[in-house]
Each structure stands twice: as C-alpha cells, then as structure tokens.
Structure 1
Amino acid sequence: MNTKTSFYLGPGRPLTVLSTWEELTEAGAGGLLGEHQWVELKASLGPTNKGVNTELARDLASLSVDGGILIFGVADDGTPVGCDATSIAQRVSQVAAISVTPPLSPFVHDPVPNPDDDSKAVLIVTVPPSADGPHMVDGRYWGRSAHGKRTLSDPEIRRILDQRTEHHGRFEQRLQGLPDRDPLLPLIAGQQSNGHVYLLAEPVGPILAANLSDPDVLRDALRGVTPSGWHAGLDQCPSSAHDPDGAALAWTSHPVEATDEKWLTYVSVKDDGRVIVVGGGATAKWRMPGGDEQEAVLHGLIATLTVQWIEVVRELALNQWGYQGEWRVGIHCTKLMGKPAQTNGLRAADVRFKAPDYTKAMVSSLMTQDVTLLADRLLAGLYRGLGYEGWKTKQVLTRR
C-alpha cells in the first residue's frame, strides 16, 4: 500500500506531509516552511537562460551535501502562492544532469494544485544526500548554512571527500564481515559446506519513517518480488526468524540436512533501514551435463536473489518509507575457488572461478533503472569469472 511522503524540514521540526494545499498552508502558517540548511524556497522559476539555470544548479548542489527539499510556488515567508509548474520538473532534471558535476538525480514529486487557480501549483523536489558529494557548479563546490546556499571552503571540501572515502571503506568491511555473523549457520545440521551469498543495502541518507523493521511490512514487500523458479528465493521465505536488530524472515526456522543447505534463504530489515539477504547456495553439488555431480557455482540462484533483493529494497524505500535517496549496495559470495558454473552447456570451455570470493560494491539510487540492469552492474565480474563474458542477468535468469 502506498503511503504519503513525510518531509524533513530541519531539526526541531516534525516530519511533515505536504501533499495538499491545506497541508502546505498549515505548515507555512505554523512556521515550518522557512529557508535554511535543509529547505530552499522559490516563488517561481525564472525564464530559461544561463543565469537562472546556474542559480538552480547551485541550489541543487548545495542541498545534496546533507539532503533537503527545493519548493517552487512558496513565498519567502512560507505562504504557498503557486506557480506555473508545467515545465519546471523537466528543467530541474536537465539542469541536475548537465550543469552539476557530478550529475544529480533529484526526485520531483507530483504538483500540489492551487484549489483557487488551476494554472498554479506548488512543486516539491527532494534532493537526497549524495554519496558523490560535494558537487560543483561553475567551478565551485556548494553547500549550505542556516541562511541558505554558500560556497564551500577548501577544508570543508577535504572533510567531505575524506568522509566519502571512509563511508565506502566501512561499507565494504561490513559487507565482507557478514559471513562472521551468518544467520544460516544455526539452521545447518552439521558443518557448512556450501559457499554462501551475502547482499547488503544501506541508505546513504537517514530514513525518517517509523516502523522500519515492521515484520508485516517486510512480509508485504516480499509478496511483490518476481517469482524465482527455484526452490529457494525471497518468495519462498514464510517463516519468522529472530533478529535482535530488526525483522527477519527465512526459508525455514528449523535445522536442515546439509543436502538442503543450498535452499536456505534469509532476509532481514534492520532498524536503521539496512536490508540484508543471505542465501545458502552460492555453491553446491550440482548435476552437470553428462550426469556427473560436482561442486558448482549456482550463478542462476545468485542472480535470482540479487534481483529479488533489489525489488524488496525498492518497494520498501518508495512505497513504505518515502525514501528517494541513494543506496550503498554490495554482494559477497564465498567458497568459489576452482568451481565451474552450475552448467557448462552454454560455454565453449570448462572455466573455473579463480578467486576464493567475489565482492562488488557500488552506490545507486536503485529507483531509475531496470532491476536486471542494476544486477548486471553487481554481477558482471562474477559472470566473467565463470566464462560468461558479456552475459546479462536476463539471460542468466532464463537459461539456468
């Protein structure tokens, strides 16, 4: 079920829904709409020329450091007045992509119409915190203060860049550390023999919605994933699982024999919005062409879990939490060394993976691309290592 987006309007201000003219009017009258570090107000957007577009680009770049909103059709005192919003959305997207370096992808919400004038509306643009910040416009980096946008000093730029590098390094450490806290181990009757797949998504900016780890919300999100066609998959996770830091569902809550380890699947949503998926079938014994059974990399199952995990993150972010920001996402697969793909019927040679593990991390909005294209970016190295040079996830999912 879709929920209304609540906007963060700065410290000391409550999360506020601004989906109707009445809500905008009440927020303005209550002093919630004011221009500061997290909010930029514009009564309208001027004509299309270099000066106006450059000013717009500076607004977008400045808000991207900590995240914020840009509101068109609201006066400086917070009163909604409306403006001609018909072309603003396109101009915002174009300016963000062309005039800001690196480019930005702000989220433009549906216009809020003025009930007394059909030609006018208020348009809200969310600019999430950017993992690529700070952003440059016209040769200068931009940030914000309590009084609005401003250029950043050299020490501030270095600090933000150092923080960006540190955040990425810590994310990769957490990703590669997931096997040390593998939730599937208590469910294996005996010793783990398969390689496992670990998928981690962390929001770049804070998610301000309530009940992030509501198990019913997670269960609803799983209902919308693409059916796997495997005995394992997020669509095959009906059992509640224990997670002290959030809510979790699993393929089963009871121990299974080692022969069924590959079907074990676990998904968790943490209290801070992290989404983790663990699968027990990165590698497993598999009957290969010719009838022989050997340890193989189940790249089809890995691809399936990756696509389903992205679908769950998107569903939670957009339709449950109202979060349009970027995500740090990554995959880590273990025990791959010396193993071929689950079938060699599609390859000319018997290629075996030449590294113990496979790890790939990146930053993405997750919202603007096809899920299989996002999976391609995460899994291209895995396919290549198995001899599938140039293969795409859509091909992998249809030819196991």
Structure 2
Amino acid sequence: MTLPTSDRPRWTPKSEADIERAIADDILEETHWWDAKQQLNTGKPANRGLAADLAAFSVDGGSILIGLHEDKSTGKFSLAPQPTLGVPEKIESIAASAVDPPLYIETTAIASAADATLGYIVVEIPPSPRAPHQVDGTYYGRGDKKNVYLSDGEVQRLHQRRESVTNRIRLLLDREIARDPIPPADRQTGHVYLVAEPMAAPPGVAVPFLRRPGIEDWIRQVTMVERLSSMTQREVGIAPSPPYLQSVERRGGAMANVARSLAHSGRQLNPEIAERDQEPGLLDVEFLESGGLRVLVGRATKEGRNGRWYVIDVMIVLYARRLLDWVRKYGQAIGFRGTWALGLHVDKLAGGTSSAFIDETDFYSPTRYSSPSYEAATTATTQELTGQPWDVGHRLAEGLVWSLGSYERVKHHLEPPTPLS
C-alpha cells in the first residue's frame, strides 16, 4: 500500500482494518493530499479551522481522516475512534456555509469494531472547479504538509488556470458548431451543442471499451432509457427526446446514436427525410475514443402560432442534465474517475421568450432574450457528477433560464431534490 500522489488514486480506507493495516505498514504521514485529525472540536474557531482545511485541499484535492492520534515526537499514528453521530452532517454544513463559494465534499463514517457508536470519518475533497476558495476573506492552499495562505499572485495564477480551461471548453464548442450538418443560413430553429471531455485522461482511453462486443447495446441502453429522477410527467417526451435516437453507428474516432435525420449518412442530413422534419428531429450523441461526449440537438427555439419566437428552455435544461448522466456512466465504463470539462452552447435565441409562458403571453409580456446565443463552461469531478449533478447542471444552465425569467419553472432540475416528508 502506498500513499496517493497527484497521479495516483487516493488511499480511501473502507474499514477499521484498512486503517490498522496502514498504521502497521507505517505509511501514514501528512502530505499535500492527506491529513489526519484526532477529533472534530466544537466552537467557531474550530469550525473556521476545519473550513480552512477544506478550502486548502480544494485546490488539488485531498482527504482528511478523523479518528487518529499522532505522536508528534515520532510521527506515528494510532487509532483514536470518536463519536460519529451527526459528524458527517456537521462537516458538510461547514463546507456549505463557511467556505466561499460553497464546497462539495464527501464524508463517510467507518464504525469501530469495539464500539459501533465510535469510529472514524473520511472526508474526501475533490479538486474544486471553483478553487481557490475563501474562509473569512482569506484564500487557502495546501503546502507540502500544512495549509498556507495564498498570495495575490497565487490566487491570480489559479484564476488564470481556470480561465484556460474555460477557453479550452469554448474551443470544443466552436468545433461542434462548425461541424453542424445544417449550415447557419439554412437553420430554422436554434440548436443545442453540448461537450464533455475528461481532463488529463490518457490518449485513446475509451478505445478498448468502444471495441468490445455488445457496445451498441450499451449505447442504446445508456442514451435511450430515461433515468432523470427530477423529470415530471409533463416533461416526458419533449421533442426531440431520447426515443428519437434509432441508429447506433461507427464514426471516425467515435460511436454515435443518431436520430433519423442523420442516420446512415455520415453525420450529414439524410436526403430521405423531408426538409420540414430535419431540424425538429435533429439529435446526435457521440461517444469519443478520447473519452469525451458530443451532443447536438435541434428545436431549441421555435416560432409560435402568434408569431412569437420561443426558447424551449426546459428541453435545453433536460439535455444539460442528460449529458451529466451520460458522462457519469461513460466515465464509469472506461475507468475514468477524474475531472471533466463541460460546455453548453445554444444559438438563435435573440428576441425569444421562454416556452414555459407560451399559454400566458396574452396576459403579459415575458422577458425576451437579448443575445443571439448562450454559452456556459464548467468543470466537475466524478464525485460531484455522482453526488450532486443538479449543482453541475445549475452551473451550465442557470444563466439562461434566469435571463428568461423561467428559473422557477425548471429549478427542480437545478436544485437538490426535495426530501420526502
């Protein structure tokens, strides 16, 4: 057993025996990615200190194990199980309220074999797409073994790193817009472009998976079986929906599931489809050998019977959430558990109003979108895609629906699920 580094999976104990083995092997030491605490103290200073720890680890990722005593003179660790009731919730509350912006973490309680009321808390802090984070106005990072204050220059460097990733995502979106099989002058409706790319994945990471027997069935199952728990009955079947996909095909460096308008034509418009049906049914989902995904959707906008221009914003939000679901499953299939770059672009929006108000425009005038397009870029860890996909969807789509005044109509896709009473 070895301690993790930036390019090696984190050591994550699953049991008290795992912790005992690590102690016996004498491999535990504070590092840039790992720390241990004997207990979680109470009070504002202690809460602030834990918040600083979480913020510091958020830059590169790391973990904290609570329930270990360290002999400072020898650097040796020993078991010191602590009461665990309510501790994970307290840590998550500190991450959400004392760290700015709020930080996504994962906490796991491990019971002691001697007393089930005692145990250990594993706190996993994935690299945050919004790092660096502040606590009481101070930015924190992680040195070799301890937290450090980030200088203005270091903060600027981290913001530039995030901006560089954003520019990379925008370049991917530009490439997808250029690949659109319908020329801009011929488009009657807005189009949705979605991209996802694994960051720091080895070249061709998905090649073995895409070559395996039965891959066509896997792609059909993942893309066509709707599993969004946030979807309401009224939203089922908003066109073009996943059932429009009907042909799994090979592409250059990819496999794709394609709707009729692009089927069997090398991602060109199918000449057998009537021109009036091409855009409303436009749907294309690609799984790349790089591990990335590309999605093209038509009918992002439409002209109503009253001559108004409508944005089908609920459909756009649904595809943002679908992308995250597909990314999570693809990453699991190809063995990638790192960070993803994600992007959304929608065009032909200028002057459009939300279709959520299509039956209400006789009574008042909804907000008209003021720009020709909308674009958003973010990154997300595999842990966040699994544990809080609505937060990632919020970063991708909230700006659009807020501008249209329709956030309240779609917020069930962009906020945590409401607990059942």
- Both structures adopt the same fold (TM-score exceeding 0.5): yes
Q: Which residue of 1 aligns with 2:418?
A: none
User: Match for 2:63: what amino acid?
Assistant: I
Deviation at 1:58?
2.0
Does 269-278 or 56-65 show the bigger shift?
Answer: 269-278
Does 70-79 or 120-129 show the bigger shift?
Answer: 70-79
Paired with 1:16 and 1:363, the residues of 2 have a C-alpha distance of 23
**2:129, 2:378 within 8 Å by CA — same for their partners in 1?**
no
User: Match for 1:162: what amino acid?
Assistant: Q
Paired with 2:24 and 2:324, the residues of 1 have a C-alpha distance of 40
Pair 1:35–1:371, CA change in 2 (3 A)? closer
Question: Is 1:34 matched with 2:29?
Answer: yes
Q: Residues 339-374 of structure 1: CA distance to partner in whole angstroms, max 9, x if unpaired?
A: 677795431359876543233445675644758983
Instruction: Please give the residue correspondences for 1:248-327 in structure 2 after superposition, counting only pairs within 5 Å.
Output: 248-252=256-260, 253-255=263-265, 256=270, 257=273, 258=275, 259-270=277-288, 274-283=292-301, 288-289=304-305, 297-313=311-327
Paired with 2:313 and 2:100, the residues of 1 have a C-alpha distance of 36
Paired with 1:219 and 1:318, the residues of 2 have a C-alpha distance of 16
User: Match for 2:264: what amino acid?
Assistant: H
Of residues 188, 193, 196 in structure 1, which corresponds to 2:191?
A: 196
Of residues 400, 408, 420 in structure 2, which corresponds to 1:379?
A: 400
Question: Is 1:113 matched with 2:102?
Answer: no
Q: Which residue of 1 aligns with 2:345?
A: 332
Q: Residues 120-173 of structure 1: CA distance to partner in whole angstroms, max 9, x if unpaired?
A: 222211112123322233553221122232223343222122223333344334
User: Match for 1:379: what amino acid?
Assistant: L
Runs (5+) with no aligned partner, structure 1: 1-6
**2:309, 2:352 within 8 Å by CA — same for their partners in 1?**
yes
Of residues 354, 358, 361 in structure 2, which corresponds to 1:347?
A: 361
**1:196, 1:333 within 8 Å by CA — same for their partners in 2?**
yes
**1:330, 1:378 within 8 Å by CA — same for their partners in 2?**
no
Pair 1:73–1:242, CA change in 2 (3 A)? farther
Pair 1:103–1:370, CA change in 2 (3 A)? closer
Paired with 2:141 and 2:123, the residues of 1 have a C-alpha distance of 17
Q: Which residue of 2 aligns with 1:225?
A: 227
Percent sequence identity is 24
Of residues 48, 54, 57 in structure 2, which corresponds to 1:60?
A: 54
Pair 1:356–1:67, CA change in 2 (3 A)? same
| Aligned pairs, number | 372
Q: Which residue of 2 aligns with 1:3?
A: none
Deviation at 1:108?
1.5
Q: Residues 275-303 of structure 1: CA distance to partner in whole angstroms, max 9, x if unpaired?
A: 4321122246x6x448x9x9865445434
Q: Report the aligned-residue RMSD.
A: 4.3
Of residues 113, 128, 131 in structure 1, which corresponds to 2:129?
A: 131
**1:207, 1:323 within 8 Å by CA — same for their partners in 2?**
no
Q: Which residue of 2 aligns with 1:44?
A: 39
Q: Which residue of 2 aligns with 1:393?
A: 410
Deviation at 1:68?
1.0
3-state secondary structure, aligned to 2:153? helix
Please, what TM-score do these two structures have when normalized by structure 2? 0.70
**1:267, 1:278 within 8 Å by CA — same for their partners in 2?**
yes
Pair 1:95–1:262, CA change in 2 (3 A)? same
Deviation at 1:177?
3.9
**2:354, 2:406 within 8 Å by CA — same for their partners in 1?**
no
Pair 1:221–1:122, CA change in 2 (3 A)? farther
Question: Is 1:155 matched with 2:153?
Answer: yes
Paired with 2:142 and 2:167, the residues of 1 have a C-alpha distance of 26
Pair 1:338–1:138, CA change in 2 (3 A)? closer
**1:68, 1:127 within 8 Å by CA — same for their partners in 2?**
yes
**2:346, 2:373 within 8 Å by CA — same for their partners in 1?**
yes
Paired with 2:83 and 2:366, the residues of 1 have a C-alpha distance of 62
Paired with 1:391 and 1:113, the residues of 2 have a C-alpha distance of 42
Runs (5+) with no aligned partner, structure 2: 71-75, 229-234, 414-421
Pair 1:156–1:373, CA change in 2 (3 A)? closer
User: Match for 1:174: what amino acid?
Assistant: L
Of residues 25, 46, 66 in structure 2, which corresponds to 1:72?
A: 66
Of residues 247, 254, 257 in structure 2, which corresponds to 1:239?
A: 247
User: Match for 2:409: what amino acid?
Assistant: K
